[in-house]
Amino acid sequence: MTLVSNDGTFALGFFSPGTSKNRYLGIWYNNIPMQTVVWVGNRINPINDSAGLLKIEASGRIVLQVQNTTAVWSTNTTASVQNPVLQLLDTGNLVVRDGNDTWKNWDDPSPGDLTYGVELEGNPEMVLRKGLEKYSRSGLWIGSRFSGGPSSPIFDYEFVWNENEVSYTYFLKNKSVISRVVINQTESARERYTWNPETQSWRQNIIIPTDYCDRFGLCGPNGKCDTNNLPVYCQCLTGFRPAWPERWNSFDYSGGCVHSKPLNCQEGDGFIIIGNVKSPDTTNSWVSKTMNLKECRDECLRNCSCMAYTNLDVTRGGSGCAMWFGDLIDIKQLQSDGQDLYIRVSASEAVLMAELKKKPKVNLAIILPTVIGAFLVFLLVVRYIRMRRKLTDEVEEENPSDKENEDMELTVFEFGTIAQATDGFSFHYKLGEGGDTTKWTRIAVKRLSKSSGQGLTEFKNEVKLIARLQHRNLVKLLGCCIQGEERMLVYEYMPNRSLDAFIFDQMRSKVLTWSKRFQIICGIARGILYLHQDSRLRIIHRDLKASNVLLDSEMNPKISDFGLARAFGGDQTEANTNRVVGTYGYMAPEYAIDGMFSVKSDVFSFGILLLEIISGRKNRGFYLANQSGNLIEHAWRLWKEDEPSVLADDFLVETGNLSELLRCIHIGLLCVQQHPDERPSMSSVVVMLVSQNELPSPKQPGFLFCKKPFEADCSSGNDGPSSRNEISLSLLEAR
C-alpha cells in the first residue's frame, strides 16, 4: 500500500531502512529515486513481517496493527469525525502525525536523545540538546537572523516573539527547491539538505554545530572561542584572565576566566566593546524592545549584577536592549555579521582601553615606519651575529653518501632570541610533542628533549637533509640553535597544524571535504616523489604519518620531521639497518621485521596514510565490532567483498567524487602490498592519481594477520623461511 500526496511529492507506505529487515510505516520523497524517509510512525515497535494493517477509527485516531489485533502505533488525536479520511498533504505531513523526527541512526528510526527547537528559558533562542544537556545554540534573534550565524541565501525567516507567541518559521525563496532538515544522532548535528537533480543526490547546505566553537560552553565562563585562533581556540575576554592558569595552560578551559581587576560598582565601572560575536547564553538575560543603546548602558551600570549589554535588534541602525547577569557563557568570535557586545570591566581597565582607541590615526605615520625600521635593524643584527657554523660531522654509518656532502651554512639563532619569541617556551603556545621533541609557535620551533635517547644524531641529520630541500610540499627550515644541551630547529609556521588534528577529529574532519582531501593526497605524493627522485640525493623519509604532514593557511600539505630520514647516493636503492626506528602502524613489514628500507618503505607508509585520510580512522588502534584486524585488513576485506566505498567516511561518499575516492582506495591498497617489488613507485602513484588509466588488481597487503608486527608469532607473510637480522627497535608513538 502506498498513499501519494496530491502533487506527487510525497508517499506514505511501509519500508525497511538501510540493512534492517524490520518494516516501518513512513513518509518519503516520491519523485526522487533515492528513497529518503522524512517521517516514521512505528519507530519503537517495528513489524517483523509483512502483515501490517493501517486503519482509521471513528474517533479520527490512526492505528497501525499487526495481524489485525495488536496495535504497534497510533496517533494521539481523538477528534470525532463522521467520515474520517487519511490525507497526505503536499507538505509531506499527515493530518495527525508524531512530532519527534529524530532517528538513532540510518538503520534504526527509534527516537534518539538529540532534540532541536525554540527554548524560552531566559529569552528565546534555538537550542540543540543531547539529552538534557545543551550542545549548541543559535544566540539571540537580532532582527533578521540569530546572532550566531549569517542569513541564508536559500531561505527567508520569520521569528514571532511577543507576549502571546514565540515561533520560528523559514520559507524557501525558490519554491522548486526540495529541502529537508535531519537531526543526525550519529554526528550529533542538525543538518539541512537540498536535492541536486543533476547529481541525483542530497547536498548538505547547513550543519549545526558549524564548527568546533559552536559546542556549548567550550571555553568556560567569560571565555571566548575563536576557530581562527589556532592552535588555541579559547581566549579570555578582554579585561579577564584565567581563573586557574595552570589548568588553562593545560588546555582545560572549564574553569573559565575572571576579571583582571576587581569591579567597584559603587564608585563606578566601565564597559569595553567586543565586536562580531555570538551573544552569550540567554538563560540569565533580560530584554527591552523600547530602550535605546544609551538607556541600556545606564540601566546596566545601575545594576551591579549586569555584566554585559547590547542592541536587541541590529537592523536599521540598532534598537532595543539586551542585558546579561552573572558569568557570560558560550561567546563565539565571528569574522563578520556578529553583534557588538559591551562588557563590564573595572573603571581603570575601561579608561585604558579608551585611551588606546583615542590614539589619532596620524600617529600611524610615525609608529609604522618606526616599527618597520626597528624590524629591519633587528634583521641586520641577526645577520651580523649569525654564526657560520659548519655542520660537517658524520651523521652515522648508515648515511655514507653524506661524506661527500659539501659544507653548508644555516642561520643559527641565539637561544635567548628563540626563548623570547616563544615567551619563554610558554605552554600556552605549545603545538604538540612527540617522542623526542616539543613544538612551539609562531615560528614553529622544534626543541629536542634533553632526555631523548636520540637527539643529536637526528638533529644533525635533519639539518643536513632538509636545509638542502626546496619543494612546495616540504616544510621550510629557517634556522637552528645549538647552545649547551639545547638543540632547536626553526621552521616556517603552519597555522593549521598537522593533518591528524583534522582527519581524526569528529568535528574538524568536516572541514576537509573530499576535494580538499584529494588536494592533500596529491600534495603529499608530489612531496615524496621529490624526495625519492627529483632532489639532489634520494631521500627515504622513514617516518611518514599524519602528524608529520603540516597544513598551511590554505590547507596545502607540507611534509616535516626528517630526523629519521636517510639519503642514498648513486644507484643505491635500498639499505639495511640494525636499528629500526619509526612509528608503529606506518612501518613496512620488510623494514619492521628485517631492517630493510627503501623508497618502497615510504610507499607503504603513504598507502597507510591514504587509507587513513579516506576513512578518518587510525590504522593503529582501529576497532570494528565483530571483526578483528587493523585498518589495512578491514580495507582488504571490503575490497574482496566488492564494497570498498564502505571504508570511506560517510559524508565523503555522499558529497565527494565517488569514482575519484574509489580510485584512491585502490591506489592505497596497491601501496600496502606485502612485497616491496609489487608496490608502485611514487612517480607511478602521482600518475595514477591524476589519470584515468586502468589500475592493476592489488595483492594481499602486509601485516594482514599480525596483531602487532613485533610479536614473536607475527609473520610478514613470506611463503618460505627467511634469514633475519638481529635488530633493535625504537618505536615512536603516532601523535
Predicted pLDDT of residue 379 = 58
Reference 120, options 185, 181, 164; nearest CA is: 164
Amino acid 369: pLDDT: 58
Q: To 10 degrees, what angle do helices 599-615 and 682-690 make?
A: 30
pLDDT by residue (tens digit) across 13-68?
Answer: 888 888 888 889 999 998 888 888 988 988 888 888 767 888 877 666 788 888 76
Among residues 689, 704, 531, the alpha carbon closest in space to that of 610 is found at 689
* pLDDT for residue 528 is more than 90: yes
Mean pLDDT across 122-136? 88
- The dihedral through the CA atoms of 327, 329, 335, 337 has a sign that is negative
Domains of the chain with bracketed CATH: 1-112 (2.90.10.10), 114-175+208-357 (no CATH), 389-493 (3.30.200.20), 499-732 (1.10.510.10)
Residue 40: closest CA among 58, 15, 60, 20: 15
Range with lowest mean pLDDT among 299-308, 341-350, 434-443, 641-650: 434-443
pLDDT higher than 70, residue 419: no
Question: Given pLDDT bands bounded at 50, 70 and 90, which one contains residue 417?
Answer: low
**The three cell numbers locating residue 611:** 587509507
CB 136 within 8 A of CB 125: no
Report DSSP letters for 131-196, one per residue: TTEEEEE---B-SSSBTTSPPPSSEEEEEEESSS-EEEEEEESSTT--EEEEEETTTTEEEEEEEE
Confidence at 615, pLDDT banded by 50, 70, 90: very high
Answer with the residue of higher pLDDT: 660 or 628. Answer: 660
Instruction: Annotate 584-651 with DSSP letters as a single string.
Output: TTT--HHHHHH-EEEHHHHHHHHHHHHHHHHHS--STT--BTTB-S-HHHHHHHHHHTT-GGGGS-HH
Q: Which residue has the higher pLDDT, 164 or 420?
A: 164
Q: Are the beta carbons of 281 and 293 closer than 8 angstroms? A: no
The pLDDT, as a whole number, for residue 732 is: 47
d(CA 674, CA 715): 11
Handedness of CA 495, 496, 498, 499 (dihedral sign): negative
Residue range 408-425: mean pLDDT, rounded: 58
User: What is the pLDDT confidence band of residue 445, given thresholds at 50, 70 and 90?
Assistant: confident
Q: What is the largest CA-CA distance in the chain?
A: 99
Query: Could you tell me what percentage of the chain is helix, strand and coil, using 3-state DSSP and rounding each to the nearest 5?
Result: 25, 30, 45
Q: Which of 203-217, 389-403, 659-673 has the lowest mean pLDDT?
A: 389-403
CB 21 within 8 A of CB 6: no
- 3-class state of residue 554 by DSSP: coil
Highest mean pLDDT among 374-383, 573-582, 585-594: 585-594
Mean pLDDT over all residues of the chain? Answer: 77
In the predicted structure, residue 725 carries a pLDDT above the cut 60? no
Residues annotated as catalytic are 543
Whole-number Å distance between alpha carbons of 52 and 383: 84
- Contact status, residue 280 vs residue 324, Cβ threshold 8 Å: yes
Concatenating the DSSP letter of every residue in 258-320 gives EESS---TTT-EEEEEEEEEEPPPSTTEEEESS--HHHHHHHHHHSTTEEEEE-SB-GGG-B-
Closest CA to 514 of 334, 727, 664: 664
Mean pLDDT of 692-714: 65
Q: Is the peptide bond before 231 cis (omega within 30 degrees of 0)?
A: yes
CA–CA gap between residue 633 and residue 627 (Å, rounded): 10
Percent of the chain at pLDDT > 90 equals: 26
Is residue 524 scored above 60 in pLDDT? yes
Is pLDDT larger for residue 215 or for residue 368?
Answer: 215
Report, as an integer, the average pLDDT of 615-619: 89
Cell of 487: 638543540
Rounded to whole angstroms, the Cα distance separating 507 from 652 reads 14
The yes-or-no verdict on residue 96 having pLDDT over 60 is no
- Whose cell is 588536494? That residue is 519
Coil, strand, or helix at residue 401? Answer: helix
- Tracing cell 637561544 back to the chain, one arrives at 415
Mean pLDDT of 74-103: 63
For position 418, what pLDDT does the model report? 62
Which cell is 30 given?
516520491
Asked if the model's pLDDT at residue 674 lies above 70, the reply is: yes
Judged against a pLDDT cut of 60, whether residue 80 lies above it is answered with no
Percent of the chain with pLDDT over 70: 72
pTM equals 0.44
Average pLDDT score over residue span 597-625: 86
CB-neighbour burial class of residue 401 (10 A; exposed 0-12, middle 13-18, buried 19+): middle
| The predicted structure's pLDDT at residue 458 | 67
Look at the alpha carbons of 489, 490, 492, 493 in this order and tell me if their dihedral is positive or negative. positive
Kindly indicate the confidence band of residue 156, based on its pLDDT and cuts at 50, 70 and 90.
confident
74-105: b or e for each residue (b if 16 or more CB lie within 10 Å)? bbeeeeeeeebeeebeeebebbbbbeebbbee
| pLDDT band, residue 95 (cuts 50/70/90) | low
* pLDDT tens for each residue of 339-377: 899 999 998 887 767 655 655 544 444 455 555 666 665
Say yes or no to pLDDT of 218 above 50.
yes
* Nearest alpha carbon to residue 133 among 154, 119, 147, 152: 119
pLDDT category of residue 733 using cuts at 50, 70 and 90 = very low
600 burial type by CB count under 10 A (0-12 exposed, 13-18 middle, 19+ buried): buried
Rounded to 10 degrees, the C-alpha dihedral 314/315/317/320 comes to -50
Adjacent-strand bridge partners of 321: 288
